[in-house]
Amino acid sequence: MGVTTRLQSSVKGIPNRYIVLVIVFLALILLSLKGLSFTPDGLSMPLGITQSSVSHEVAEEAATHEVPVAPTVRKANATFIILCRNSELDGIIQSVREVEDRFNRDFNYPYVFLNDEPFTEEFKRRISVLSPSLMEFGVIPHDHWFQPSWINEETASAARKLMEMSNVIYGGSVSYRNMCRFNSGFFFRHPLVQKYRYYWRIEPNVHFHCNIPSDPFLYMQDHNKTYGFTISMYEFESTIRSLWQTVREYTSLHPEHVHPDNSMGFISQDNGKHYNLCHFWSNFEIADMDFWRSEAYMMFFEFLDSTGGFYYERWGDAPVHSIAASLFLPKDAIHFFDEIGYQHTPFTHCTRDIERWMNGRCSCDPGQSFDYNGYSCLRQWEAVAGRH
């Protein structure tokens, strides 16, 4: 039987329309195969276009669209400074945890912990897990912490006993006096701190009640601010009986250090004849250490220290810092951080600006803020600097 006869026999009974469809389908396959070539890696592409030419075109396309680089977060040269003891571990954990939750988890500023004795491994281990930020632990040099040998201990001891009998807070404490002197004239000289310009002082058992979405350090830097505070109040007069007279002696010797646009009105109601006892509460302060390291402040501190007032009385770092900032800085270099909700028991600052309070998701009660308490000096500051 011939081929024609067998084909006729095989297609016999199949409708013609199906035969036509099969022929058209086969023709389309042949036409598509003529326009393709097969590459060694199994990918097919139109004839006349090679892998190398495609790769070159892709490379040119990539070259015209640079891969975006993640922006660098701008930060100030700044650190947290925490003066504490091993026994204050739980209180420090609370403070650091709140600083991280309210601010530093978004900014990753480093921490410097200082102690008059070495921190334990347990202290460092438990603190270090709280933040990915750099944490450094330092020991305070002996001469920066302990009572100087030139202090007459008999006189100092008598002063402590008298204050203790008068129920002056920390009146009988030598270690408290060591701390006040250290914070007044030495913390910014510590080797771990020397590399930084700005600092934020943190103490054990404090609370931060509001989110802080913007960077206070950069605010200080960008707006030429030198000293920042949240709470101001009156000092105990019995602890600083000779301080103002000593300040007046210094300024009479060095009037060139007193800024013409100073904040004398914050610390005196009679143009400097008497000290009104107002000061910025220094357990919270954000400041520029270049000021403390300046000739004006260092000469001022050395003059105060030479009188022995830190030990013969109980001069605090808060009035010392506040008087120096008020006299030696222009008033617009001092800043009230109203947006930072802060508590150091028994006093709390909580913004009364409802928009700030809501945006900060503050946990404090504005009605309980210390700002306009009768013992607060915020009104005096606002009279000098104007309301914020």
Query: What 3-state DSSP class applies to 73?
Result: coil
Sheet with 111-115, edge to edge strand ranges: 135-139, 111-115, 78-83, 198-202, 286-288, 227-229, 334-336
Q: Please state, as a whole number, how many other Cβ atoms lie within 10 Å of the Cβ of residue 296.
A: 17
Q: Please state, as a whole number, how many other Cβ atoms lie within 10 Å of the Cβ of residue 237.
A: 11
Residue 321 has pLDDT above 80, yes or no: yes
pLDDT tens track for 52-90: 443 444 344 444 445 454 456 899 999 999 999 999 999
Q: Are strands 347-349 and 36-38 parallel, antiparallel or unpaired?
A: unpaired
Instruction: Give the rounded distance of the alpha carbon of 248 from its chain centre.
Output: 35
CA atoms within 13 A on the CB side of 129: 7
pLDDT tens track for 110-161: 999 999 999 999 999 999 999 999 999 999 999 999 999 999 999 999 999 9
The DSSP line for 10-44 is HHTTS-HHHHHHHHHHHHHHHHHHHTEEE-TTS-E
User: Which residue in the list 285, 295, 313, 339 is annotated as catalytic?
Assistant: 285
| Predicted local distance difference test score (pLDDT) of residue 38 | 39
| Predicted local distance difference test score (pLDDT) of residue 73 | 81
| Predicted local distance difference test score (pLDDT) of residue 66 | 53
CA distances from 85 to 89, 116, 120, 149, 244 (A): 7, 8, 10, 24, 32
CA nearest neighbour of 275 among 302, 239, 309: 239
The DSSP line for 122-174 is HHHHHHHTT-SS-EEEEEPPHHHHSPPTTS-HHHHHHHHHHHHHTT-TTTT-H
Residue 370 has pLDDT above 70, yes or no: yes
Range scoring the smallest mean pLDDT among 4-13, 297-306, 334-343: 4-13
Q: Which uninterrupted H or E stretch holds 74?
A: none
Q: Is 136 exposed, middle or buried (0-12, 13-18, 19+ CB in 10 A)?
A: middle
Sheet with 207-208, edge to edge strand ranges: 207-208, 342-344, 347-349
Partners of residue 81 on adjacent β-strands: 112, 201
Range list of H helices, 233-288: 243-253, 264-267
pLDDT tens track for 234-282: 999 999 999 999 999 999 999 999 999 999 999 999 999 999 999 999 9
DSSP annotation of 359 reads: H
Per cent of the chain over pLDDT 90 is: 80
Task: Please indicate whether residue 285 is annotated as part of the active site.
Answer: yes
CA distances from 266 to 89, 92, 110, 385 (A): 36, 32, 33, 9
Q: Which uninterrupted H or E stretch holds 82?
A: strand 78-83
Query: What 3-state DSSP class applies to 343?
Result: strand
For the chain, give the mean pLDDT.
88
Rounded mean pLDDT of 353-377? 96
Tokens 């013969």 locate to 312
Residue 6 has pLDDT above 50, yes or no: no
Q: Packing angle between helix 317-328 and helix 243-253, nearest 10 degrees? A: 30
Is 0.85 surpassed by the pTM of this model? no
pLDDT tens track for 198-247: 999 999 999 999 999 999 999 999 999 999 999 999 999 999 999 999 99
Per cent of the chain over pLDDT 70 is: 81
Partners of residue 37 on adjacent β-strands: 45
Q: CB under 8 Å to 37, separation ≥6 — which residues?
A: 44, 45, 46, 47
Distance (Å, whole) CA 83 – CA 213: 25
CA distances from 283 to 92, 113, 137, 229 (A): 13, 15, 20, 9
| Predicted local distance difference test score (pLDDT) of residue 28 | 53
Residue 34 has pLDDT above 90, yes or no: no
